[in-house]
Amino acid sequence: MRQNQTLDAGWKADMLRTSERGADMVVAAGPNFQELMALIGHLLLRWGWLEDGLRGNPIPPELERVRLIRNAICHRLVSAHTYVEGESLAHVRCRLLDGSLVSYSAADLEAAIRELEGTSHRYRAR
């Protein structure tokens, strides 16, 4: 399978990847399953670095949204979905304590990673 990114670097919800299957050309939205899992791993690694940098101090209020995403993934993850064909986006689903389901797309995960990267220097995180 040959994959080409047709837009700028990074994981984008609207990123197109093409793969050839014989004479058929299939266009899929977003990352494959391994890439989605890599985003989760990258988010968790960055979060760990943040916690190390904080040295026991509280999580800064500007990272509350990222904290909620991280906690939902770590403690309440119920499924992960990617699609080879179709218009649905790759995402993970978490069931919150109140029973509601929340979904985070690859773009949501990438945005959370960027937030952590953008604030790491303030909290002595890597």
pTM: 0.74
Q: What tens digit of pLDDT does each residue of 27-66 get?
A: 455 689 999 999 999 999 999 999 999 999 999 999 999 9
Q: What tens digit of pLDDT does each residue of 61-100 get?
A: 999 999 999 999 999 999 999 986 666 789 999 999 999 9
Cβ-based neighbours of 117, under 8 Å, separated by 6 or more: 46
Pick from 67, 6, 72, 82: nearest CA to 37: 82
- Report the alpha-carbon distance of residue 90 to residue 124 in Å, rounded: 32
What residue ranges in 54-100 does DSSP mark as E strands? 77-81, 91-95
Of residues 23 and 121, more confidence is placed in: 121
